Amino acid sequence: MGVTPLQMANYCATLANRGWYYLPHAIKKVGDKPIGTYNPKFGEKHYTKVRKQYFDVVVDAMENVMVNGTGRIARIDSVRLGGKTGTAQNPHGKDHSIFICFGPVENPKIAIAVYVENAGFGATWAAPIASLMIEKYLKGKTKRPDLEKRMMDGVVLPVYERVKVKATPVEE
């Protein structure tokens, strides 16, 4: 299944909102007016056909990932988050690191999807990056300088084998 990071972020927002979402858009407001003022379709809630009770089970499981599972590295003090780490297989090299997350669980303000190509497990790169972005968005700053430094200074590059090319002389 192929999905874009934007589609995954919107999927995560739908889970966070227990069944509704806004159409994805890149602008929140123009001047002081919300984008929905200029184009009502962007301010309209769209609902899934899934009952809210089923979302509650998924949200509880995503919160548990953050407390007891692979998302622990992405926890933020005093903010309940729901998240899911992932690893996408890559036939061309190292697997991709993926993480979706939203918060706060009780009153969602942000949903995010982070993909880091050729970076391995979701908890290794994508989860810490998403966590720092959410913390900055919700609190205005980050309080984990060591994690921020590790993410900023880290280098993720695909490893390619060197291919030796044997030159064949060409006769004129």
CA–CA distance, 128 with 98 (Å, rounded to integer): 11
Peptide bond into 104 cis (omega under 30): yes
| Structural domains present in the chain | 5-153 (3.40.710.10)
Q: What is the pTM of this model?
A: 0.84
Tell me the per-residue pLDDT of 105-163, one tens digit each, with 9 for 90 and over. Answer: 999 999 999 999 999 999 999 999 999 999 999 999 999 999 999 999 988 875 555 55
Beta bridge partners of residue 34, listed in sequence order = 29
Nearest to 25 by CA among 137, 99, 16, 38: 38
